[in-house]
A and B are shown apart, each in its own frame.
Chain A
Amino acid sequence: MANLRIRDLVKTYDKTQVLHSINLDIDDGEFVVLVGPSGCGKSTTLRLVAGLEEVSNGTIEIAGRVVNNLEPKDRDIAMVFQNYAIYPHMTVRKNIGFGLRSSKASKAEKDKRLESVAELLGMTEYLDRKPSQLSGGQRQRVAIGRAMVRDPAVFLFDEPLSNLDAQLRTQMRLEIKKLHQRVGSTIVFVTHDQVEAMTMADRIVIMKDGDIHQIGTPAEVYHKPANIFVAQFIGAPSMNMIPGRVTGDGTIELATGGGLAFERSLPEGREIILGIRPEDLHPGQASGVIEGSVNVREPLGHETLIYVGTSNGDVIAKADGRTPPEIGETVQLGADPENLHIFDAATGEALA
């Protein structure tokens, strides 16, 4: 159990800087997910914390101790890899026990720990099997088991669910979350899947191009995205972005035609981008702000996504699952003013 502090962390490969001064504080027992598109630096950050790569600048502190120059084994961490990194020629018992190889505990003590971890993960009856005789989810559990026997201060997960099929991924997501609630250790989890991030994290760190764009609870990043990138990255389907301009009387004139009143005061003439999540945009509302005809329907059962053609391209909205508008039908889309997000057109930052 320990906290993790990252201060001004920089990583350069030759002349390319892949991390630009990252700052992050993770509390004891917190489950933090680093999420972002590939190449955003999330895995690099994790590997720096693990000690698999060398820090170019800045400091990493685990439990109040700067670990920049410590070997991975001395950092009191454990890591679960994307391809599990369990050894195909060893049994499950030996694989899990590998995490204890460098420990000074007695043989009996090690056995006891191994047994209890296997029990916790429901792998007791598989201890003498080889990885090739296990399913994907069981292999994943072996990898987690090997990390758990070390009883580390911080668990690091590097996209551990991306090799699993969709159903198993949902199941393992839940299992890891339960495990965290039971064991209560600090977890840093890397993924490119925003659904994983939203469902598992206490706090989400959204990264892009080696920078942190927002840190916050799932609710915060969803409801109060700091900029256009975060707004579009979190939530599926992604948030509609409609350019507009603030007019004299405090209303916003949209590129799709029509205007809307906005309570917050903004300087006149300012170019903005209006963000509305598809689930906040519904057809047939009196206060309709966007008009267009339905181009495509995607029925999802309980609801139907409609792609409404406007002068500024398609806008996605959510319609009722039973009685969606017909293709070609002209609809008025409206949204609750509370659910509108305004971003600066030039910087992409949210305007509160």
Chain B
Amino acid sequence: MKLYRDLTIRQKKIVWAWGFLAIPVLFYCVVRFYPTGNAILISFQDWNLLGARTWTGLDNYKKLFGDPVFWKVFKNTFVYLLLGTPVSLVISFVIAYHLDKIRFMHGFLRMLYFLPFMTSAVAMAWVWRWFYQPVPIGLFNNFLASIGIPQISFLNSTSNALPSILAPAVWAGLGFQIIIFMAGLRAIPKSYYEAARIDGVSTWTVLWEITLPLLKPTIVFIVVFSSIGFLRIFDHVYNMTTQNPGGPLNATKPLVLMIYQTAFSSFDMGYAAAQTVVLFLVLLAVSLLQLRIMRDR
């Protein structure tokens, strides 16, 4: 006790800060850092979850880079990212921008947009899967048929399946992004718009030269957040292609699904760990890149 009393105010603050930090630090070490380190270690080993671990060096990585399925999956993951992020960004901004101006039933409309975000991804994926079925079951094809357009094979075509799965994934994330955008829009002082009205500039100029530049921090946050989400897409794909996960012909398979299958269907833990390490590096690189590009100069 005397030892503590003799500390300066600053040193006491440090003792308290570390006291409180001890719990999250311990949690992070056990739940985050230890498994991460272990995964990196396993990626250099051969392990079937039950037997002994044997050291294989870079074999897993060599196998990975020579695996055509991996490259297909790698490409799919980036298609999810490069389509999903901009599309969801634009749609959520357009909705938030207009919703912000509506007073009538504002709260109710906002709730409606937020609802999908709270809904279970599994339930949603199955409902959309039903939408996509051929005539006479699927909603979309029934509608197309009723206006005389030949039905589209949504989930069974190698070219249509990926966008078809992406659509509900984008839709599910919109609610969250709209709420964040609206908070960003509200944070812009009204007088900025009033001054622009007096200066008589067009709505378009106001949008491009005032609203969007001032929303930059919000946009950075949403881009990084949704990019990480699309790079880790799994549940929508898994649930909409259950009888042949990631199919047809790996056309919709993202990296996380490949990791899941390698680990828990083939029980090839070393190979799965190597894929996880690659995913981790991709996520890290993409996030750092985006933060750098969009940082305030």
Question: Which residue numbers of A lie inside 8 Å of B, CB to CB?
Answer: 50-52, 71-74, 77-79, 81-83, 85, 87-90, 98-99, 101-102, 146, 150
**18 residue pairs from A and B, CB less than 8 Å apart:** A51-B197, A72-B194, A77-B198, A78-B198, A79-B194, A82-B191, A83-B189, A85-B191, A87-B209, A87-B210, A87-B214, A89-B214, A98-B196, A98-B199, A99-B199, A101-B200, A101-B205, A150-B199
- A81 near B194 with CB under 8 A, answer yes
Question: Is residue B192 within 8 Å, beta carbon to beta carbon, of the partner chain?
Answer: yes
- B198 near A98 with CB under 8 A, answer no
Question: Is residue B127 within 8 Å, beta carbon to beta carbon, of the partner chain?
Answer: no
- B198 near A73 with CB under 8 A, answer yes
Partner of B200, one of A71, A83, A88: A71
Most buried by A among B194, B213, B214: B194
Closest to A152 in B: B198
- A72 near B201 with CB under 8 A, answer no
- B191 near A73 with CB under 8 A, answer no
Please, what's the 1-or-0 string for B158-202, where 1 marks a CB less than 8 Å from any CB in chain A?
000000000000000000000000000000010110111111110
Knowing A52-B194, A79-B195, A101-B205 are in contact, say whether A85-B200 is a contact too (CB < 8 A): no
- A72 near B198 with CB under 8 A, answer yes
Chain B contacts of A81 at CB under 8 A?
191, 194-195
Chain A contacts of B198 at CB under 8 A?
50-52, 72-73, 77-79
Number of B residues, CB within 8 Å of A? 17
Chain A contacts of B194 at CB under 8 A?
50, 52, 72, 79, 81, 85
- A101 near B192 with CB under 8 A, answer no
Chain A contacts of B216 at CB under 8 A?
89
| 5 nearest CB pairs, A to B | A73-B200, A102-B200, A85-B195, A85-B191, A81-B191
The distance from the CB of B196 to the nearest CB of chain A, in whole angstroms, is: 7
Known: A71-B200, A85-B191, A98-B201. 11 other contacts (CB 8 A): A50-B198, A72-B197, A73-B200, A81-B191, A85-B192, A88-B214, A89-B213, A89-B216, A98-B196, A102-B200, A150-B199
Closest to A47 in B: B194
- A101 near B201 with CB under 8 A, answer yes
A51 to B194, CA, bound (A): 10
A73 to B202, CA, bound (A): 11
The distance from the CB of B184 to the nearest CB of chain A, in whole angstroms, is: 14
A74 to B197, CA, bound (A): 10
The distance from the CB of B294 to the nearest CB of chain A, in whole angstroms, is: 13
Closest to B195 in A: A85
- A83 near B199 with CB under 8 A, answer no
Most buried by B among A78, A101, A146, A150: A101
Chain B contacts of A85 at CB under 8 A?
189, 191-192, 194-195
Please, what's the 1-or-0 string for B198-230, where 1 marks a CB less than 8 Å from any CB in chain A?
111100010001100110100000000000000
The distance from the CB of A147 to the nearest CB of chain B, in whole angstroms, is: 9
Chain A contacts of B213 at CB under 8 A?
87, 89
A208 to B205, CA, bound (A): 39
Chain B positions 96-127 with a Cβ under 8 Å from a chain A Cβ? none
Closest to B198 in A: A72
The distance from the CB of B95 to the nearest CB of chain A, in whole angstroms, is: 24
Chain B contacts of A150 at CB under 8 A?
199
The distance from the CB of A145 to the nearest CB of chain B, in whole angstroms, is: 13
A78 to B200, CA, bound (A): 10
Closest to A101 in B: B201
The distance from the CB of A287 to the nearest CB of chain B, in whole angstroms, is: 54
The distance from the CB of A270 to the nearest CB of chain B, in whole angstroms, is: 50
Chain A contacts of B195 at CB under 8 A?
79, 81, 85, 98, 146
The distance from the CB of B283 to the nearest CB of chain A, in whole angstroms, is: 30
Chain A contacts of B209 at CB under 8 A?
87, 90
Chain B contacts of A79 at CB under 8 A?
194-195, 198
Chain A contacts of B200 at CB under 8 A?
71-74, 101-102
Knowing A85-B191, A88-B214, A89-B214 are in contact, say whether A71-B201 is a contact too (CB < 8 A): no
A77 to B200, CA, bound (A): 11
The distance from the CB of A55 to the nearest CB of chain B, in whole angstroms, is: 16
Chain A contacts of B210 at CB under 8 A?
87
A50 to B200, CA, bound (A): 12
The distance from the CB of B126 to the nearest CB of chain A, in whole angstroms, is: 45
A71 to B200, CA, bound (A): 8
- A102 near B191 with CB under 8 A, answer no
- B192 near A87 with CB under 8 A, answer yes
- B197 near A73 with CB under 8 A, answer yes
Chain B positions 28-64 with a Cβ under 8 Å from a chain A Cβ? none
- B214 near A102 with CB under 8 A, answer no
Chain B contacts of A101 at CB under 8 A?
199-201, 205
